[in-house]
Amino acid sequence: MQYGTEDGAIRTNWRVDEIVGLHNLAFLELVGKANAVHRQYHDPNAIQRASLLSIKTGGCPEDCAYCPQSAHHRETELTREKLMDPRIVLALAKKARDAGSDRFCMGAAWRQVRDGAEFDAVIEMVRGVRDLGMEACVTLGMLNETQARRLADAGLTAYNHNLDTSPEYYSKIITTRSFEERLETLEIVRSAGVELCCGGIIGMGESITDRCSMLKVLSDIDPHPESVPINALVPSRGTPLANVEIIDPIEFCRMIAVTRIVLPGSTVRLSAGRSNLNREQQLLCFLAGANSIFFGDKLLTTRNADMQDDMDLLAATQPLEYQETTVL
Ligand code: SAM
Ligand code: DTB
Ligand code: SF4
């Protein structure tokens, strides 16, 4: 297999075996290649900060095996909540902005968007977040063309809708909707002129080929999704995947690196599961091409990395301030 001069080309014709070949390279070679591709397209010192908020929690009719918000997993400890009041959401968005967030992402545990007062409230939230000068992202499940257009008109920057896993492994994880439906929603979002935020989860018992097959589908999307969250499973009590072992940091980093090579121009977000990585493991992921994190104490329902630790981490990516020291 040849890499060489082709490294860094934006392609929509990757083969799964090529991606597996990259994924399984010697680790340092893989990270080196990914870093070279990263530097062709991105400022190597810039890390985007996105804050997450669950605006409607729990009671979801879908049966996603990883998700603590599914109503199918009755043993989860979550309390269901109604859609939040837009005024509270916007106060939290402002707080996130003042703490340094660039993007505010709002998630609802819905199978699909329904027209009515709740969707009107989400539109108000999107407008409000944009008025705060932040990028706005929502993840609301499936939606139709009119709804996508309303979100676009409100100024929505991106819509998050993950493939989650490969088409081959999909039915082991979700049975209440199809992989095809996922792709159709992505198409609807794109057609409305909204950016795609689309990635997946690793560490759910899938094979390396599954991970690469998911990346192949992402890279078939033309143009590529603007941002790609790579989540490591956060095993949650009461879900069928509660006892799955958490992923090895080097495996997580391999996935980041291969994502960077296959999707050179996209923002790659080191997403859920980051709190299991130490500072140096996260820096290794940035070197391998991750250039965005979820910033804030909470993801949707689970704990994120500590905010002060994140400030220190981001400070560590910046040039050292010159300090005169006296050595006696
Ligand atoms: N209901 C909407 C949907 O599924 O599109 C939006 C919310 S859903 C919680 C957003 C994404 O969070 C999922 O697609 C999945 O990739 C990720 N996610 C959910 N639970 C997770 C977990 N326990 N570990 C890692 N990622 C998770
Ligand atoms: C994404 O890919 N990861 C985020 C965001 N998109 C919505 C969600 C992660 C959720 C982790 C489990 C939880 O906190 O409930
Ligand atoms: Fe519902 Fe989304 Fe969780 Fe699936 S991932 S159960 S669709 S909230």
How is residue 60 annotated by DSSP? B
pLDDT at 77: 61
Structure tokens at 162: 């993950």
Question: Phi, psi (5° rounding) for residue 88?
Answer: -70, -40
For ligand 3, whether the C-beta of 67 sits within 6 Å is: yes
Whether residue 84 contacts residue 327, with contact meaning beta carbons closer than 8 Å, is answered with: no
For ligand 2, whether the C-beta of 185 sits within 6 Å is: no
Give the residue-averaged pLDDT of 117-139. 97
List Cα–Cα distances, 207 to 92, 102, 202, 307, in angstroms. Answer: 39, 34, 9, 33
pLDDT single digits (tens) 153-194: 999 999 999 999 999 999 999 999 999 999 999 999 999 999
Task: Return the biggest CA–CA distance within the chain.
Answer: 72
Rounded to the nearest angstrom, the distance between the alpha carbon of 278 and the centre of ligand 1 is 23
pLDDT single digits (tens) 307-325: 999 999 999 999 987 656 6
Helix axis angle for 307-316 and 279-287, nearest 10°, is 50
Q: Which residues contact 232 (CB under 8 A, 6 or more apart)?
A: 201, 202, 203, 246, 247, 252, 271, 272, 273, 274, 276
**Nearest alpha-carbon partner for 108 in 73, 141, 157:** 141
pLDDT single digits (tens) 270-303: 999 999 999 999 999 999 999 999 998 899 999 9
Q: For domain 16-314, which CATH number applies: 3.40.50.620, 3.30.590.10, 3.40.250.10, 3.20.20.70?
A: 3.20.20.70
User: Domain-by-domain residue ranges, the chain?
Assistant: 16-314
Ligand nearest to the CA of 174: 3
pLDDT at 313: 92
pLDDT at 301: 92
Query: In this structure, which amino acid lies at residue 33?
Result: K
The proportion of the chain whose per-residue pLDDT surpasses 90, expressed as a percent, equals: 89
List Cα–Cα distances, 24 to 12, 28, 283, in angstroms. Answer: 21, 11, 21
User: Ligand 1: which of 56, 63, 66 to mutate, judged by most atoms within 8 Å of the beta carbon?
Assistant: 66
pLDDT at 328: 59
Give the residue-averaged pLDDT of 57-78. 87
| Residue position matching structure tokens 């139709």 | 144
pLDDT at 3: 45
